[in-house]
Amino acid sequence: MPLMMKGFTLIELLIVVAIIGLLASIAYPSYTNFIADARRSEAIASLVSITSDQERFYTLNNNYASSVTAAAGLGLTGRSETDFYTISVNNDAVFTYTLTATPNGWNDPVCDEFTLSNTGVKAINGTGTLNDCWR
């Protein structure tokens, strides 16, 4: 009775490694794009939320808050919910304002900073387009 060989050959092992490498090279960019999109959505949600806070502040004080964080301003933390963006408002906000969401601790070359004004004008400071970033 012949002895049976058990195990894998080097060729079989190399094929499996190549397949895993191919799958990883396809999946990783999709994963990083998904994470960036989720973070960008958080920035947009924060800006829209603070816009309504600004309008409420204006209703009570007849001027917009010139600070997101100060007690005389909106009294918020100045950060997005999971701390990926720092939110600020221009210091001279009285009858107009511009909110800015800046990435905090991570690099987003496509959209970088988001801005939203009191008139609803949206902008970005990155290499992407406005439609790609504000979705």
- Is 54 a domain residue? yes
Q: Which range of residues forms the domain containing residue 51?
A: 40-133
Domains identified in the chain, total number: 1
Whether residue 73 contacts residue 65, with contact meaning beta carbons closer than 8 Å, is answered with: yes
- Is 26 a domain residue? no
- Per DSSP, the three-state class of 55 is helix
Q: What is the reported pLDDT for 71?
A: 79
User: pLDDT at residue 1 above 60?
Assistant: no
Per residue in 56-70, pLDDT tens? 999 999 999 999 998
Q: Which residues contact 63 (CB under 8 A, 6 or more apart)?
A: 93, 94, 95
User: pLDDT at residue 3 above 80?
Assistant: no
- Is 34 a domain residue? no
Per residue in 95-123, pLDDT tens? 999 999 999 988 888 999 999 999 999 99
- Is 49 a domain residue? yes
- Is 10 a domain residue? no
Mean pLDDT across the chain? 91
- Is 81 a domain residue? yes
